[in-house]
Amino acid sequence: QKEVEQNSGPLSVPEGAIASLNCTYSDRGSQSFFWYRQYSGKSPELIMSIYSNGDKEDGRFTAQLNKASQYVSLLIRDSQPSDSATYLCAVRGGGYQKVTFGTGTKLQVIP
């Protein structure tokens, strides 16, 4: 079982719609959860971090964490063509605190 799993996509949504991206992780001791956006050929950019169960909102982005289900999600409201990118889920585990990334979900926002 992979430590951090994401559906590779592509996930296609029309402009203005809500995009929902999902991630599951295997280490129950994980403490910190991150969402990164990566444009083609560029380095990842942090867009959201979440540490406790529930929702965290920042502008058009909402991160949701459910530690009991080992599940993290990212909602993007009012999706824009500029949101088209690959979204990487990352999890910081216990112990030596290494950060493990999923393989990413490619999002396409259709004008």
Q: What residues make contact with another protein under the rule CB under 8 A?
A: 6, 31-32, 34, 42-46, 49, 51, 88, 90, 92, 96-104
Enumerate the H helices of the chain as residue ranges.
none
Tokens of 13: 């949504």
60 vs 106, beta carbon nearer another protein: 106
The distance of closest approach from Cβ of residue 52 to another protein in the complex, given in angstroms and rounded to an integer, is 8
Rounded to a whole number, what is the distance in angstroms from the first to the last CA of the chain? 37
Strand partners, 100: 91
| Cβ 96 to another protein shortest distance, Å | 6
Separation CA 12–CA 98 (nearest Å):
32
Q: Which is nearer to another protein, 20 or 38 (CB)?
A: 38
Structure tokens at 105: 């979900």
19 or 65: CB nearest another protein: 65
